[in-house]
Structure 1
Amino acid sequence: MNKFAIIYASVSGNTEEIAELIADGIRASGAEVDLKTVENSHAEQLLQYKGYLLGAYTWGDGELPDEFLDFCDEMDEVDLQGSRAAVFGSGDSGYDIYCGAVDQLEEKLRTCGAMLLQESLKIEYGPNKDEKVLCREFGKSFAEACMSVLNDHENTA
């Protein structure tokens, strides 16, 4: 079975809501998904999945939330080369750096050798009606992109 992970940090509930909507989209593709908070996750668990998504709110002046710091350090110890990933998050455009945590997670994944399969999803605060649809589509597209990459790999192997 195709199984994916969504690992996220949320304080106000906005990023958690986005994560749940993305999970709905993954399930709509016919796949299974584990939804976990970053505090209850370890980077080596990422290797157990066909693909994974990391989600975070942006803290302060564009910073990654403290909850993600240890997880990011752990990522340096795991071989994520070629793993399939995507990033999402919530932010406030009133700050100079909008959704900076998303950008930092993207950079971390690139540094670790992960493949970012789609453009990251950034949502202002919590998702509105149209953005809820977008979140579900984001999850479904990610699952489909992972399967496409896997099928392409199998066909060239």
Structure 2
Amino acid sequence: MSGILVIYGSETGNTKSAATMMAAVLEGRGLAATVRDVRDTGVDAFSEDFDLFLLGVSTWGAVRDEVTEDFKTFYKDMASVDLSGKNVAVFGSGDEGYENFCKAVDSVQERAREKGAFIALEGLKFNLAPHASSDAIRSWAEQAADFLEKK
């Protein structure tokens, strides 16, 4: 297998920044990390030879949908793929000022679980800009690296 694929959706840039931060941590641990924008990636990415898929999705304010606009097609298409044997973890930003704080993280994680994925790490949720949560983001990325080293 060939490392980690980080797929992110980011309408304001926060989840993209977190994805980039995670990739740096993983590469610092000697792991190959590929980062892709969800708008340029389909669920066929799950058929690629990666050890771990990290999915980054934001929650926009009081959104009632499961995911934000940029992640909708990918999320919908996840319902049609078998993720058995795939290791997945989900992260994302949100605004703690809203009742649905990081609801999209929960929705994507549940969809992955329903489709047979092994949830390698419980979802990481951070408030707004990732720089304020950089320690938590780096720690989560380290846990992802630890997960792969134990495999």
Return structure 1 stretches of 4+ with deviation > 4 angstroms.
none
Match of 2:111 among 98, 108, 112: 108
Counterpart-to-counterpart distance in 1, 2:131 and 2:90: 19
Q: What's 2:4 paired with?
A: 4
Long gaps (5+) in structure 2 = none
Note the C-alpha offset of 1:73.
2.3
- Residues 63-108 of structure 1: CA distance to partner in whole angstroms, max 9, x if unpaired? 3112212112222232211210111000001111111111111111
Match of 2:141 among 135, 139, 154: 139
Amino acid at match of 2:134: K
Q: What's 1:153 paired with?
A: none
Q: What's 2:34 paired with?
A: 34
- Look up the SS of the partner of 2:57 in the other structure: strand
TM-score w.r.t. the length of structure 1 is 0.86
Counterpart-to-counterpart distance in 2, 1:98 and 1:78: 27
Q: What's 1:56 paired with?
A: 57
Q: What's 1:154 paired with?
A: none
- Look up the SS of the partner of 2:130 in the other structure: coil
State which structure, 1 or 2, has the greater radius of gyration over its C-alpha atoms: 1
- Look up the SS of the partner of 1:19 in the other structure: helix
Q: How many residues align?
A: 148
Long gaps (5+) in structure 1 = 151-157
Counterpart-to-counterpart distance in 2, 1:2 and 1:144: 16
TM-score w.r.t. the length of structure 2 is 0.89
Q: What's 1:47 paired with?
A: 47
Note the C-alpha offset of 1:60.
4.2
